[in-house]
Amino acid sequence: MLFYGHTENLALGKPTNQSSTEKNTKIGVAISVRAVDGNDDTNMSNRHCSQTEKDNPSWWRVDLGSDHVPVSQIYIVNRFTPDHATEFSKDYEITLGKCSFNESVF
């Protein structure tokens, strides 16, 4: 959403969920809320990225709090280097509005 030439992060601090949660000693527990902490650091060790396990499909979502949120841009920060991005991060589906699966998570 644009205000006087500035973009507002509508997802900042909002409730999130994901299909599963990757965890190990290096990255800790890569919970979904890390993706909306306002920090776009892509180094997993710094614990600002969320990560799922190898689900099929893997998914992540945020509840913006209303079905009437004026979204004009979606900004995705991918933690993978360009040579691995297409291998691990592809086939995004972005949906606005009611959730089509597992509605009870929020």
Residue type, 23: K
Name 90's Cβ contacts closer than 8 Å, sequence gap at least 6: none
pTM higher than the cut 0.85 = no
Q: What are phi and psi of 83, to 5 degrees?
A: -75, -15
- Per-domain residue ranges for the chain? 1-97
Tens of pLDDT, residue by residue, the chain (106 residues): 444 556 788 899 999 999 999 998 888 999 999 999 999 888 888 998 898 898 888 889 999 888 777 888 888 777 665 666 666 666 777 887 766 555 444 4
Whole-number Å distance between alpha carbons of 3 and 78: 26
**pLDDT given at position 14:** 93
Can the peptide bond before residue 70 be classed as cis, meaning omega within 30 degrees of 0?
no
Query: CB–CB of 27/51 below 8 Å?
Result: yes
Of 52, 21, 18, 47, give the one whose Cα is nearest residue 34.
47
